């Protein structure tokens, strides 16, 4: 049965996304902005659930970075979001390169 508003726990159950991840996504994605009641509890609607499911698909399934997912939600052209020779999203490839450099620096300091 559809309701007007859902708690963060209900959204977590429906989407399979943990509550702390939903709260983190709220800080990054303006499309995921549940209202809060007087007690400060989040109130999600069906639109918020749709956004959470799309984010789950982009970030967890397609391995987009948060920046790439943000661009995808803002309807940027597909070739700006996905295209690399090995099929990885451009932002993921850049993030992995940065992580590799960071790990190399840490290794050199050991």
pLDDT score at 98: 79
- Is 48 contained in some domain? yes
- Is 2 contained in some domain? no
Summarize pLDDT for 4-63 with one digit per residue, the tens: 899 999 999 999 999 999 999 999 999 999 999 999 999 999 889 999 999 999 999 889
pTM, rounded to two decimals: 0.66
User: Could you tell me where the beta strands, DSSP code E, fall in the chain?
Assistant: 35-36, 42-43
CA distance 44 to 71: 22
CA distance 70 to 77: 12
Which residues form the domain of 35?
A: 8-109
3-state SS assignment for residue 76? coil
Task: CATH number of the domain at 22, please.
Answer: 1.10.1660
């Amino acid at each position: 049965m559809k309701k007007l508003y859902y708690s963060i726990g209900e959204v977590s159950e429906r989407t399979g996304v943990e509550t702390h991840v939903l709260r983190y996504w709220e800080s990054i994605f303006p499309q995921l902005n549940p209202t809060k009641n007087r007690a400060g509890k989040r109130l999600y609607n069906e639109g918020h659930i749709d956004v959470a499911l799309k984010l789950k698909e982009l970030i967890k399934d397609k391995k987009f970075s948060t920046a790439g997912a943000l661009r995808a939600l803002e309807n940027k052209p597909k070739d700006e979001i996905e295209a690399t020779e090995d099929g990885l999203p451009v932002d993921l490839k850049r993030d992995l390169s940065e992580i590799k450099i960071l790990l190399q620096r840490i290794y050199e300091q050991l």
